[in-house]
Structure 1
């Protein structure tokens, strides 16, 4: 049976701030909803699961990012992940102009973990600490110029 990638879902503490960050980077909102009910409890494995969600899409139409903010149960605040921790690591995007993307992120108070790196002659990239502590990799393909 073939498998197809659907999306990455990320819990955030402030849905509006996360939407603003990702749409400023170029994603578009496909839809928004409030989700609850027995089907959601069963699917997610939490009694009383109740969230506000937004589905975003990359400009090429191939990538989707689902952002959600918990209404119930109360969200559990954790420390931001670090690049070498086991588990969800980061979400990555190809960008046309890395410097411009970093400037956009900075307007949201989101900055590179260390700076801009160059991977051989292939990519300029930076890991940015995004909204709710999400690590977002921004990569500019140097061979697309």
Structure 2
């Protein structure tokens, strides 16, 4: 059986703000839609499921995020996850300039949880709390080439 990762889906509080954050980091919007109907109820497991969605893709075409903002049922606010909690944890991106990526994130009010760390002289890493509390890991490879 062949398998590949299609996308990571993330429910967000403000679709436009979240699209702006990720497109400023370099992702591209592939498409947008409003979904509802029996097929959506069945697939998602929610009666009356109705959401605005956007599919974003990394410039290399290998990574996709599906962002969705619920219209119905009403979205439930939860506390943002902590780095040590079980469950969906974070989305990670390789960047060619972590300082520039952090400047871009800061323009959206998003800053590292603690700072920038270096892992074994291989990566500079930072966890950023993004829109809707999403943890976004940014990683710059130090040994390029």
Using structure 2 for the length normalisation, give the TM-score. Answer: 0.99
Q: Corresponding residue for 1:3?
A: 3
Unaligned 5+ residue runs, structure 1? none
SS in 2 for 1:143: coil
Q: Corresponding residue for 1:60?
A: 60
Q: Corresponding residue for 2:39?
A: 39
1:55-109: CA deviations, max 9, x gaps? Answer: 0000111000000000000000000000000100000000000000000000000
CA drift of 1:144 comes to 1.4
Q: Corresponding residue for 2:129?
A: 129
SS in 2 for 1:144: coil
Using structure 1 for the length normalisation, give the TM-score. Answer: 0.99
Q: Corresponding residue for 1:96?
A: 96
Q: Corresponding residue for 1:115?
A: 115
Give the paired residue count: 145
Unaligned 5+ residue runs, structure 2? none
1:26-56: CA deviations, max 9, x gaps? Answer: 0000000000000000000000000000000
